[in-house]
């Protein structure tokens, strides 16, 4: 037995789920992903999404609609005769005609413990808020923003120095296994749905560039969470005076440290910087156009003695 599945996803995060569903023997009748976008070194070449590329390697049909406003696009989806739609980080809002266009509806893999962190950036927001755990939830989609009934939950601990990139990779694999398990249960008519709690709703707003600059006047815990929550992308940053010019430096790793002083001032020669309360040690940095470097390697090229101010 196997399900006829329409898979909908776009980034790397979605690819393991697609592959696992294929390996499980399900028939993927179509893959929907966002259209190719300008990219490449000069930003002129159209680049297919990671899901698009994976689907072609698997020999699966791919569709890339800009949206689902066109009645013909909705009819094409319905005519696929799928049992279920599986959605993982697709990036497009699905109208009711799509949500109800398969036998069992659409199920979404969402990277949080709903109703906490509904929305676009649940991985980053969980770390930035200092959460000690998160997870993957398989949810039956409805017209709301991540408001559907939950079918399956898998919790994941967030380590004290774990970055958003590391958590992304962990949840990517956890989510693939969770969705594969949910599809087995769905096929066996053994996938109960539980409404989300009314309390504890938080929204994970998309990361704005304006919030990526490091504010060392905050508590060290908050500064540390800010840095690791934005690593590796888009990256938290500070400015450093170099030859009379302000040079932006991304911080991709940090750890909490002891010490006190004027916020933004280096307390040691190995990148311990004072915060509003306590301090953090910067462990991985990257200059504009350069490679990410461990602190010791960075300091060999850019010595920063104690007393240096970071803005």
State how far the Cα of 193 lies from the Cα of 107, in Å rounded to an integer: 11
Cα maximum dimension of the chain: 69
Residue 114 assigned to a binding site: yes
Helix axes 164-187, 15-23, angle to 10 degrees: 30
Residue 14 assigned to a binding site: no
Residue 115 assigned to a binding site: yes
State how far the Cα of 49 lies from the Cα of 90, in Å rounded to an integer: 11
Q: Show binding-site residues for (6S)-5,6,7,8-tetrahydrofolate.
A: 112-115
Binding-site positions: 112-115
């Amino acid at each position: 037995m196997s399900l006829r599945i329409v898979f909908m996803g776009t980034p790397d995060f979605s690819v393991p789920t697609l592959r696992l569903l294929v390996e499980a023997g399900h028939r993927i009748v179509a893959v929907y992903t966002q259209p190719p976008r300008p990219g490449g070194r000069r930003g002129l070449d159209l680049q297919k999404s990671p899901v698009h590329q994976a689907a072609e390697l698997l020999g699966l049909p791919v569709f890339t609609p800009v949206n689902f406003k066109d009645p013909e696009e909705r009819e094409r989806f319905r005519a696929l005769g799928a049992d279920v739609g599986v959605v993982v980080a697709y990036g497009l809002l699905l109208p009711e005609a799509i949500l109800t266009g398969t036998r069992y509806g659409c199920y979404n893999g969402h990277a949080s413990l709903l109703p906490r962190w509904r929305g676009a950036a649940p991985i980053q927001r969980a770390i930035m808020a200092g959460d000690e755990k998160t997870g993957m939830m398989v949810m039956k989609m409805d017209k709301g923003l991540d408001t559907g009934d939950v079918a399956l939950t898998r919790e994941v601990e967030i380590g004290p120095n774990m970055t958003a990139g590391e958590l992304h990779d962990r949840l990517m694999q956890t989510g693939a296994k969770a969705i594969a398990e949910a599809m087995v249960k769905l096929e066996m008519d053994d996938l109960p749905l539980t409404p989300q709690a009314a309390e504890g709703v938080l929204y994970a707003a998309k990361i704005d560039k304006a919030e990526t600059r490091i504010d060392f006047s905050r508590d060290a815990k908050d500064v540390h969470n800010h840095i690791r929550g934005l690593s590796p992308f888009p990256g938290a940053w500070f400015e450093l005076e170099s030859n009379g010019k302000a040079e932006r430096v991304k911080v991709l790793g940090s750890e909490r440290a002891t010490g006190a002083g004027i916020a933004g001032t280096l307390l040691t020669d190995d990148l311990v910087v004072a915060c509003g309360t306590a301090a953090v040690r910067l462990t991985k940095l990257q200059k504009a156009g350069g490679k990410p470097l461990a602190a010791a390697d960075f300091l060999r090229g850019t010595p920063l003695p104690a007393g240096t101010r970071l803005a």
